[in-house]
Amino acid sequence: MLYYVSGNVAILEPGLAVIDCGGVGYGCRITAYTAGQLKLNQNARLYITESIREDAYDLYGFISKEEQRCYELLTSVNGVGPKAAMAILSSGGPQNFTLAVMTGDEKMLTAAQGIGKKIAQRIILELKDKLGGSSMELDFSTGAGFAAPIQQQGNAALAHAALQELGYSAVEINAALKGVDPNASTEEMVRHALRAMVMKG
């Protein structure tokens, strides 16, 4: 199993990046989000999800674990194949996709090529709990040592769970949510945290 490929970006085309790893070129299908963060003839690391069928063997490459996780969640939804999942992530990246599901924003999902209203509704219905619904168990045990934890209820809990699903740790999330308006919406809290993490990074 390929976990990631790391090397020089030898070819960069719409929907495709070829990563030269020790003289072997790995052709990876990529989103516009990932493509926007790659540069030709510079080193890059892509996290890989393999798709093996009778007539094809495809590698899907993602610039971050967060984007890869979103892709895998999308393709777990009945009726959403790799092409549709890549289109959704191309239209806004993992952050906007998460926000769309959390806030029930069908328009953001249908903006992606080939995604109709019914599929958008199914994505929201099936993934909202996985991205931070009430059934999701939140683990704050790793956050020992920081100030008062985020309340495990309401919008703060939903924002915390959504960020955990994107791969951030409890410590990172609580630091990013520090000072956020407790009356803010879930979407506003997630945006605040993501901006804070980007600035820190």
Q: 145 and 164 share a domain?
A: yes
Which of 62, 86, 103 terminates a domain? The answer is 62
* pLDDT at 172 (0 to 100): 85
* pLDDT at 143 (0 to 100): 37
Which of 74, 103, 127 terminates a domain? The answer is 127
What is d(CA 124, CA 161) in angstroms, rounded to the nearest whole number?
A: 16
Look up residue 41 and give its two tokens. Answer: 């003839």
What is d(CA 55, CA 69) in angstroms, rounded to the nearest whole number?
A: 25
Closest listed residue to residue 118, CA positions, set 77, 86, 82 = 77
User: In this structure, are residues 60 and 86 in contact, taking their beta carbons and an 8 Å threshold?
Assistant: yes
CATH number, domain with residue 25: 2.40.50.140
What is d(CA 179, CA 149) in angstroms, rounded to the nearest whole number?
A: 12
| Helical pair 82-103 and 117-127, crossing angle rounded to 10 deg | 60
Closest listed residue to residue 87, CA positions, set 33, 165, 17 = 33
* pLDDT at 72 (0 to 100): 95
Does 135 fall in a domain?
Answer: no
How many CB atoms are closer than 10 A to CB 46? 26
Total domains present in the chain: 3
CATH number, domain with residue 83: 1.10.150.20
* pLDDT at 180 (0 to 100): 86
* pLDDT at 132 (0 to 100): 58
Closest listed residue to residue 152, CA positions, set 120, 127, 118, 177 = 177
Which of 13, 34, 62 terminates a domain? The answer is 62
Q: 112 and 151 share a domain?
A: no
The pLDDT averaged over each successive group of 10 residues in the chain (201 residues) is 94 96 95 94 96 87 94 94 94 85 88 91 90 42 35 67 78 86 83 76 53
* pLDDT at 156 (0 to 100): 80
| Domain with 88 in it | 65-127
Q: 70 and 101 share a domain?
A: yes
Does 90 fall in a domain?
Answer: yes
